Amino acid sequence: MSSAPHREAERGGGQQTLERVPLELSTTESWLDPFDWYAEMRENHPVRYDERRRVWDVFRYADAARILSDPMTFSSDPTRATELDLPEPEARGPLFETMLTSDGSRHDRLRGVVEESFRPRSLVPRAPHIRDVADDLLDDVVDRGEMDLIADFAYPLPVVVIAELLGVPTEDRPTFKRWSDTLVETPADTSEAGLEAFARERRRVDDELRAYFEAILDDRRTDPRDDLVSDIVHAESDGETLSHEEAVGFCILLLVAGNVTTTNLLGNAVRCLTAHPDAMARLAADPTLTTTAVEEVLRYRSPVQALVRVATRDVELAGADVHTGDAVVPWLGSANRDPAVFDAPDEFRIDRTPNSHLGFGRGTHYCLGAPLARLEARIALEQLFARVTDVERASTELDPVRSAFIYGVRSFPIRYRAHPETTPRPQVETVDDGATTRRTDRNA
Ligand code: HEM
């Protein structure tokens, strides 16, 4: 049985150890394609302790699923970790006060504030508008014959959608991008001076985000509207449901979670499809395949590759001896390629069923925005292939998102031809959460 060879490892110069990536992923190639490394780890070191990051890395599906399904043993609260360099409590910022980092009744209370708004039935009326937003973005680039899929389409679409849901001005989206990038990326310069500059930039972004959302929360206190910020203000105003700090954290979480991940889902989808032209041709010819194609991208190139939990008791994990307070990182991206669960896991199959990937997590923290992300991705791909054809990569170079958790590319130039025929828009929009399908009629 292995156990963490505690605990004399050198401290990380004040950098949050959670932001560090494993050394094995420190080259551009491995960041872009970590899957060979995952395969080796699943086979030979399915649970290993990384002394540098002071976390347990977990690579097999069964172990990752077990961790996520047992929140009593594996807490989502990083402050329970004994070996991580977290910022001092006063410097932690509102993102430490969210449902994502809470357990038990606090988590349920926070999630309950907005849960209803993200259910498929609440999203149905929004589907036609999401299609309009996608189409407007495509109007600007279709005739050009080339675009950066990320900057021109995959970034603006989800950010406009979540900004509208929240009720914040969509014109502020360049600022949202700078904020989100700073919050998810790992420092490029790991010298002491570089890490300090990174920590300062983080604090600056925390302060800017706090000031931005405090002003909007103030506004909705006097002028409530039909948006999520108003729901959050309402929950804060009863003095029990939400504290002020939680209200601010809520807005930031929804803004960041609602755009970074979906941008990378779309970028990863087009990356997969340009690498598999047969699959792209099939999808373009038969848009009903889009739902399963999106699930396959979530499995094959998962936008969230890893999560973090903290052991609340001593526990054995696939032969490893994990102690109370140890941080554990289930690698979703590896679990999703586990041959114990998926037939030919390294094949990209747009009609794969069943497809029980962990791309949205599992258990109590299962992605709140999953129905929205699925809807946006399906509409985005349907509209893209309705408007353009012969899509191919326009650059051989790829620049990965440099994050310990988020997986995608920063830009993805493509070439294409405008579609010679106009495809009619669906008259009935559907929203599917895997179990149920809900419909809205455009003419109703
Ligand atoms: C492709 C897009 C997305 C992916 C891959 C994704 C992935 C995930 C994953 C893996 C988790 C589980 C975290 C954990 O267990 O610790 C999660 C949670 C969450 N996601 Fe998403 N997400 C996506 C889109 C969205 C969108 C559009 C929103 C909407 C605002 C959203 C909001 C959230 C929230 C609030 C949580 C925390 C839920 C909780 O703690 O109960 N996500 N997401």
- pLDDT for position 44: 97
Query: Above 90 in pLDDT, residue 279?
Result: yes
C-alpha dihedral (436, 441, 442, 444), degrees to nearest 10: -140
Decide which of 3.40.190.10, 1.10.357.10, 1.10.3720.10, 1.10.630.10 is the CATH code for 12-435. Answer: 1.10.630.10
Contact assessment for residue 400 and residue 409, using Cβ atoms and an 8 Å cutoff: yes
Q: Which atom of ligand 1 is nearest to the CA of 264?
A: 1
Q: Which two tokens stand for residue 328?
A: 């554990």
**Tens digits of residue pLDDT in 67-93:** 999 999 999 999 999 988 777 777 777
Report DSSP letters for 367-414, one per residue: -TTHHHHHHHHHHHHHHHHHHEEEEEES-S---B---SSB--BS--EE
**Tens digits of residue pLDDT in 99-116:** 999 999 999 999 999 999
**Cis before 71 (ω within 30):** no
CA dist list (Å): 369 to 6, 35, 233: 38, 26, 20
C-alpha dihedral (178, 115, 157, 395), degrees to nearest 10: 70
Task: Tell me how far apart the alpha carbons of residues 429 and 238 are, in angstroms, rounded to a whole number.
Answer: 37
Structural domain boundaries in the chain: 12-435
Q: Which atom of ligand 1 is nearest to the CA of 358?
A: 10
> Is any ligand 1 atom within 6 A of the Cβ of residue 162?
yes
- Residue whose Cα lies nearest atom 34 of ligand 1: it is 368
- Residue whose Cα lies nearest atom 27 of ligand 1: it is 258
* Distance (Å) from CA 180 to ligand 1 centroid: 14
| Confidence band for 224, pLDDT divided at 50, 70 and 90 | very high
Burial class of residue 421 in the structure, from the number of CB atoms within 10 Å of its CB (0-12 exposed, 13-18 middle, 19+ buried): exposed
Query: Above 60 in pLDDT, residue 142?
Result: yes
Q: Reading across the β-sheet that carries 74-75, which strands appear in turn?
A: 47-50, 55-58, 327-330, 309-311, 74-75
Task: Tell me how far apart the alpha carbons of residues 210 and 444 are, in angstroms, rounded to a whole number.
Answer: 41
> Is any ligand 1 atom within 6 A of the Cβ of residue 304?
yes
φ and ψ at residue 398, rounded to 5 degrees: -130, 140
C-alpha dihedral (7, 8, 14, 20), degrees to nearest 10: -60
